Each structure stands twice: as C-alpha cells, then as structure tokens.
C-alpha cells in the first residue's frame, strides 16, 4: 500500500479537475493534518502514523456529526458525513462483529479479566490483535458487556 501523503497531491488535483468541492476541501484538510504531524514528528511518517492521523480526522467528523444532529443542523451533519465517507476510504476495512467477538472472548480468557478493574488489560490485548481494524469504542463496549462491575 502506498503512503497517503505521497499520493495526496495527485488526489487533490483529481478533485479539482472534477470540481468536487467537498472532496477537495476534505483532502486539503487531511493533507494539512499530515503535514502538521510530519512537522511535529520531524521525520517522514510511516503508514501507521498516517493512519492514526486519518483516524483522528475521522473521529473529529464523527463528533461533529453527533453535535450537529443534537443541535438540529442536519445540513451541516450531512456535509460532515460526506467528509467522513471520503476519509474512511483511506482506512482499513472494519473487522466484522463475529470475528471481533471471538478476539474479545480470547483476550478475556487469556488475561483472566473478570471485573471492570481488569478491563484495561483486555482492551490492550484486543487492540494489539485488531491493529486498527476495530474502533476502540466498539472494543470497549464489547468488553464491558462481558465483565462484571
């Protein structure tokens, strides 16, 4: 897989030619976020670091969608949903629920997690195995449902 930053100029040019304003602005924001991360780290970003930037930008959109929907600003929420869809194309596909359930069950039995105090160990084990193919909130909810308080 090619690195995202390397293909960003080409993707932005394609969006400009297609006159796709939302895609263009989303790609420009992503390019800017990648540049800021590059400056902060002071080295060329590896694939995992780039994916973390994309995840962070996607999370911003998810939070904005929730806020706009609560405020009754559906037009703004729809714009954020379009931006989120563009960003999700850069992320690996999410793991199916059945597969994630199995990994969560294995992690709980391997770590011996029984109560909510053990939740961190189980989450750490699961997140290491899923490698960005499952959202942390999703993992947390599944583990919470299986542990006692």
> Which pLDDT score, from 0 to 100, does residue 41 have?
92
Same domain, yes or no: 71 and 132: no
Range of the domain at 130: 97-146
- Same domain assignment for residues 75 and 102: no
- Report the C-alpha gap between 28 and 22 in whole angstroms: 10
- Report the C-alpha gap between 38 and 54 in whole angstroms: 13
How much is the pTM? 0.73
For residue 140, the model assigns a pLDDT of 84
> Tell me, what's the pLDDT at 1?
39
Phi/psi at 53 (5° precision) = -65, -45
Question: Both 83 and 135 in a single domain?
Answer: no
Looking at 66, 88, 110, the residue that finishes a domain is 88
Identify the segments of the chain with pLDDT beneath 70.
1-2, 148-149
Q: Look at the chain and report how many structural domains it folds into.
A: 2
Q: Are residues 54 and 118 in the same domain?
A: no
Determine the pLDDT at residue 66. 94
Q: Is 115 helix (H, G, I), strand (E, B) or coil?
A: strand
**Residue 18, domain CATH:** 1.10.1510.10
Beta carbons within 8 Å of 130's beta carbon, 6+ residues apart: 95, 100, 103, 139
pLDDT at 26: 96
Q: Are 41 and 113 in the same domain?
A: no
């Amino acid at each position: 897989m090619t690195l995202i930053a390397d293909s960003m100029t080409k993707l932005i040019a394609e969006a400009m030619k297609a006159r796709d304003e939302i895609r263009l602005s989303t790609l420009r924001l992503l390019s800017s976020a990648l540049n800021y991360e590059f400056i902060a780290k002071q080295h060329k970003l590896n694939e995992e670091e780039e994916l973390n930037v994309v995840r962070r930008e996607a999370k911003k959109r998810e939070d904005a969608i929730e806020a706009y929907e609560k405020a009754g600003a559906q037009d703004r929420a729809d714009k954020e949903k379009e931006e989120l869809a563009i960003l999700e194309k850069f992320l690996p596909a999410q793991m199916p629920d059945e597969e994630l359930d199995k990994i969560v069950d294995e992690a709980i039995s391997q770590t011996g997690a029984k109560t909510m105090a053990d939740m961190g160990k189980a989450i750490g084990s699961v997140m290491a195995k899923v490698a960005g193919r499952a959202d942390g909130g999703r993992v947390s909810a599944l583990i919470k449902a299986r542990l006692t308080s």
